[in-house]
Amino acid sequence: MNSPHSRAGAPRNRGDPADATTDPLLESFAYAVPEGGLPAWSEPDSHAAPVIHLAPGPVRVTEHRTGGWTHVVCEEDGWSGWLDGTRLASRDTSGDDLLTQLNEAMAEYSRLLDEHQAGTIDEATFHHRAVRIGLIVRDQDAWILDLTTTRWWRYDGVELVTPLIEDAGDKGTGTEK
């Protein structure tokens, strides 16, 4: 329920930054803006007008605050802001093919390198987007792209290994080293 002074669709208060919670597993695109979209703010302030109405689609949650405020980054365009996290939908990625995800990330990284080499993005933007591209959290594993060797590493919470990853067009299953 909104207070009389807050805008419709906004969490009830600013939330206390001291109460903020972050979790590396939240960094995956495991949430989505539901059908119909959601209003979003540049700062967690229910007294301000929303700056945008986000379209439905995957978002990465980077921070939760008391009062329902959640900081998100949109998968589509990288826009980030605050919204009512209680209205986000969980995104079921269990049906996604991991090999396809890894190959798509490599293709996206290749496009990013082309943009950087062409001078259409600066160094800071390149590094920010490269880190986003190079981390895939799936089930209980984190897949990390080593940008210096363009090899994938799998971290299961105990051990870091580099599996042999074959292209989606190959019929092999791959083995870990």
79-114: pLDDT as tens digits: 999 998 888 876 655 545 777 778 788 888 888 899
pTM of structure: 0.44
Q: How far apart are CA 55 and CA 51, in angstroms?
A: 13
Q: What is the CATH number of domain 17-90?
A: 2.30.30.40
Residue 102 phi/psi, 5-degree rounding, is -65, -45
Residue at 130: amino acid letter: A
Tell me what pLDDT residue 68 has: 81
105-145: pLDDT as tens digits: 888 888 889 999 999 999 999 988 888 888 888 767 788 88
Q: Where are the domains of the chain?
A: 17-90, 98-161
Q: How far apart are CA 83 and CA 80, in angstroms?
A: 10
